[in-house]
Amino acid sequence: MKELTKHYLPIIKALIIPYLFFFFVLFYPIAYFVDTPGGITEVESIISVDYNQDKEITGTISSTYIVSINRPTFFQFMLSSFSDYNYANVIRGTYANYTNEEINQISYLDKETSVNAAVIVAYQKAQDLNQDIIIDYYEKVMVFGKATYLSYYDDIEFGDEFLYLIGDSDQVVDDHTQIGPNTQNASSYEFFFKNSEGETYSRILTKDEETNLFGITLKLYYLVNKDTIFPKYQEQSSNIGGPSGGLLQTLAIYNMLVEEDITKGLKIAGTGTINYDGSVGYIGGVEQKIITAYLNKVDVFFIPFLSETYTYDNYLEALRACEKHGIDPTGWLVPVASFQDALDYLAGLE
C-alpha cells in the first residue's frame, strides 16, 4: 500500500493543480458584468387593456432587452470576449456590494414601478381624447438602496414601504425628505416599514460613524389605484426586469386606449425610461440594444436624446455604435426627449 501511495502521489499532486485551475475558471465568479444582445418583446404580450377589443392594430410596439450576466465565471467572461457585439466591465458603485439576487430584486422593482408610470402617463394622455378614461394613483415611498453598514440589513428588503420614524422630541416623521433635519440629536432612531406581505415592522437604525447616514435609500413612487382605474389592465409575469421599456410600454398602452392605430403597420421598438411628466430617461446597454434592433429589422427605433453636449447621451452612443458595426441609422433610429415626441413622429409618418 505504501509503495502504491509513493508511486501515485506525484501523479496526484501533478493533477491537483490543473484540476483546481479548471475548477476556478469554470465556477469562480468575478466582479464584472457582461452585456450581450437580446431581443424585442411585444408590449401587448405583457400588458393588455380591456378596451377597444375590436380595434385592428396593424403594426407592433416592442420593448428591447439585452442579456446581462452579473459576476460571470472566468469561462463565461472569456467566451464573451470572442464577440464584438458583447460588452464587459467592472461592477462599480453600490452594485458592487449587492449580490446577484439583490440586483435582480432591484431590477424587478424598477420594472414594476416603470409599468405603473407608463400606465399613468398613457391614461392621462388618452384622457384628453376620451373623458370616460379614469386614472387615479397614490404615493408610496419604498426602499430603493441599501449600504453595507445599514442596521438590520437582511431584515429590510428592496421594495419595502417606508411608513414613518420617531424623530427628535418623539416627533412622527412620515416625509422621507425630512429625515435628516429631524434626526440630529441622537445616533439611533426607530423606523417603521411595511413589507410585501402587508406586515408592519420596525427596526432601530443607527447612523454610520463615517458618513453620519443610516445607509438606506428611499424613493417616492406613484402607483396606480387599480380599484378605480378605467378601463382595467392586466400585466403578465415576465422574467425581463429593469425600467428601460417604459417609453415603449407607454406608447403601446396609449395605442390600446385610443381609436387611431398609431403603429401604421410598422414594426416599432425602442428603449428609454418614462417619467411621470412624460419625459424619457437614459438607459444602459445602448450598443447591444442597437445591434438587437438592427438584427430584428425594426422600422422605427426610439432612443433618448436629451443633450447634444453630453458624451454619453443615449442617441450619441447609438450613433457611435452604428458607426462601429457598420450600421446605417438613417430612417429608423429616432431620437426623442419625451413621450409626446414619439407620438408626434408617428403622427407625421405616411
The 10s digit of each residue's pLDDT in 171-218 is: 999 999 999 999 999 999 999 999 999 999 999 999 999 999 999 999
Q: pLDDT class for 17, splitting at 50, 70, 90?
A: low
Q: Mean pLDDT over residues 117-125, rounded?
A: 98
Which pLDDT tens digit goes with each residue over 260-274?
A: 999 999 999 999 999
12-16, 176-180, 276-280, 313-317: segment of lowest average pLDDT? 12-16
Instruction: Report how far residue 71's alpha carbon sits from residue 33's, in angstroms, rounded to the nearest whole number.
Output: 6
Domain locations in the chain as residue ranges: 38-69+110-130+233-347, 140-221
Which pLDDT score, from 0 to 100, does residue 117 have? 97
Q: Tell me the longest C-alpha to C-alpha distance in the chain.
A: 92
Q: What is the pLDDT of residues 216-257, one digit of tens each?
A: 999 999 999 999 999 999 998 877 788 999 999 999 999 999
Asked whether the predicted pLDDT for residue 118 surpasses 70, the reply is yes
Say which residues have a Cβ less than 8 Å from residue 197's Cβ, sequence separation at least 6: none
Residue 13 has pLDDT above 60, yes or no: no
Query: What pLDDT, on a 0 to 100 scale, did the predictor assign at position 78?
Result: 83
What is the pLDDT at residue 11?
A: 59
Picking from 14-28, 117-131, 269-283, 331-345, which range would have the lowest pLDDT averaged per residue? Answer: 14-28
**Would you state the pLDDT for residue 2?**
57
**Distance, C-alpha 98 to centroid of its chain:** 15
Give the pLDDT band (50/70/90) at residue 133: very high
Quote the pLDDT of residue 9.
Answer: 56
Residues 94-117: tens digit of each pLDDT: 788 898 899 899 999 999 999 999
Compare 93 and 128 and report the one with higher pLDDT.
128
Query: Cα–Cα distances in Å, from 337 out to 8, 207, 269, 279?
Result: 70, 39, 16, 6
pLDDT at 149 over 70: yes
pLDDT for 7 beyond 90: no
- Judge if the upstream peptide bond of residue 304 is cis by omega within 30 degrees of 0: no
Mean pLDDT of 158-176: 97
Task: Give the pLDDT confidence of 300-347 residue by residue, as tens digits.
Answer: 999 999 999 999 999 999 999 999 999 999 999 999 999 999 999 999
pLDDT at 12: 57
Condensed to tens digits (0 to 9), the pLDDT of residues 24-77 reads 666 778 888 899 999 999 999 999 999 988 899 999 999 999 998 888 888 888
Task: Give the integer Cα–Cα distance in Å for 113 and 183.
Answer: 29
pLDDT bin (cut points 50, 70, 90) of residue 14 is low
Contacts of 31 (CB under 8 A, 6+ apart): 71, 90, 91, 96
Using a 10 angstrom Cβ sphere, with 0-12 exposed, 13-18 middle and 19 or more buried, the burial of residue 35 is buried
- The matching CATH number, chosen from 2.60.40, 2.160.20, 1.10.10, 2.30.42, for 140-221 is 2.30.42
C-alpha cell at 265: 403597420
Dihedrals φ, ψ of 200, to 5°? Answer: -90, 135
**The CATH classification of domain 38-69+110-130+233-347, taken from the options 3.40.1110, 3.30.230, 1.10.3210, 3.40.50:** 3.30.230
Q: Name residues whose C-beta falls within 8 Å of residue 226's C-beta, 6 or more positions apart in sequence.
A: 232
